[in-house]
Structure 1
């Protein structure tokens, strides 16, 4: 179980720095980074992939050149592994980036989803207009809580809290945007002890955490049962069924805090830094 986060606003790479960091990745991954034109988008995509390779390397001790990361049809990344994953039958990870931060979370048995939101005040419309465009994604209970949160800023923050949790859930199961988000209803006690009702039914097979990253950014973690995985993602897992005792032991493991990483820390030691001649 790992939780890492990188503040990309603190990384101001030269074109040479970008090329060097990109060279850590296999060619198949490089093209998914270079397709972005804006520097900030390219930085997020690059750091997202560096986090995946660095985490897999640290947790499973797989050499970088032997790590194979693919994506499901819905776009969820997963590790292609055989005997190396025996100790962690459902080792899986999820990444998210928004605003200044890029984060990754991994779990040995349960599904994991992570989502970051940057609480941004709408520029071209009022807060009410912005929120109204998302109303269909919330249950009537959640929408009432958003609309009665207080000031416009209070409503915006409440919206992002719910949205962050919903995205983490959808990313954990690997369904992409196809899931009906209004059927995933969250309950909480001051945003602790978070639980979820799915299609009107309470479930005890999921746990959620909502944390403040600072600088008006939130991050959420979803941890759930492997049998909830979407069809294409289910096929990437080794096990989907567990006895109740074994599963609940994994579900109720303490959540670990996010560890701050720099981009330099994601570069393998074997990947020697280039020498610049003047």
Structure 2
């Protein structure tokens, strides 16, 4: 069903499960475009920036979806997608699996350089090893979602980001020590072993390679505020069969 460039990208994965996740991820993108923009699967071209963020090549201006943005993530048992008509959006899914061959403390310590002192203290005080691991993945999920939303690559310094929250609601971000009010974040519990985070923010924060794909990076403050304050919808769960049927 997929165009040649997508098939080649999937074939690069050696592990069969990774190939399946990559396949479903791409099918989700085409299904989203068809569902939201009413554009047939065969008439859609999805590309990626040099940093790997997907975008629709024919992203002409549309008053209803001035900056149609979407992002995918896959880990463990889930492959997901999130989209926005105006804002940047980033999605990250994490499988909260117990580390093999080391303790939870040893595992989390491997990532200490990517965490602020505040985040590290919150993780260390979370409680049991399971609670510590879950707390770590919440912060990690949020950092990844933000980086993916702005279209940055793996070289972006996660230590530059610091998150604050009220029992994982009213989540805010400090970038290089400065609080930004142009972003909102959500954490979802997909099941007992999987978390998902969504980052939504101002198009002007996109890295240059991704900003070039947007139709309108200039957004009025009132419009941005209204979009950021709108309630976030829950995920809809589909099987692979339902997904492929949606493209036929």
Q: Rg bigger for which structure?
A: 1
In structure 2, the residue matched to 1:14 is none
- Deviations along 1:111-153, whole A, 9 cap, x unmatched? 0000000001111222121111100001110011111212222
Distance change in 2, residues 1:28/1:93 (3 Å): same
Matched, 1:219 2:196: yes
Larger RCO, structure (CA 8 Å, separation 6 or more): 1
**Does structure 2 conserve the Cα–Cα contact (< 8 Å) formed by 1:54 and 1:268?**
no
Shift of 1:270: 7.0
Shift of 1:269: 6.0
Answer with 75-84 or 37-46: which moved more.
75-84
| Structure 2: runs of 5+ lacking an equivalent | none
In structure 2, the residue matched to 1:123 is 100
In structure 1, the residue matched to 2:11 is 34
- Deviations along 1:203-231, whole A, 9 cap, x unmatched? 11100000100031000000000000011
Matched, 1:61 2:15: no
In structure 2, the residue matched to 1:93 is 70
Aligned residues: 248
For residues 99 and 89 of structure 1, the distance between their equivalents in structure 2, rounded to whole angstroms, comes to 33
In structure 1, the residue matched to 2:139 is 162
For residues 218 and 149 of structure 2, the distance between their equivalents in structure 1, rounded to whole angstroms, comes to 17
Q: CA RMSD in A?
A: 1.4
Aligned partner (choices 148, 160, 176) of residue 171 of structure 1: 148
Answer with 53-62 or 27-36: which moved more.
27-36
Shift of 1:86: 4.5
Matched, 1:72 2:45: no
- TM-score normalised to the size of structure 2? 0.96
| Structure 1: runs of 5+ lacking an equivalent | 1-23, 272-278
For residues 57 and 25 of structure 1, the distance between their equivalents in structure 2, rounded to whole angstroms, comes to 14
For residues 208 and 40 of structure 2, the distance between their equivalents in structure 1, rounded to whole angstroms, comes to 30
Shift of 1:198: 1.1
For residues 193 and 32 of structure 1, the distance between their equivalents in structure 2, rounded to whole angstroms, comes to 38
- TM-score normalised to the size of structure 1? 0.86
Shift of 1:36: 2.1
- Deviations along 1:15-68, whole A, 9 cap, x unmatched? xxxxxxxxx111111111122232211110110000000001111111111101
Matched, 1:197 2:174: yes
In structure 1, the residue matched to 2:236 is 259
Q: Deviation above 6 Å: which 4+ runs of structure 1?
A: none
In structure 2, the residue matched to 1:8 is none
Alignment of 1:105-144 (within 5 A): 105-144=82-121
For residues 49 and 84 of structure 1, the distance between their equivalents in structure 2, rounded to whole angstroms, comes to 23
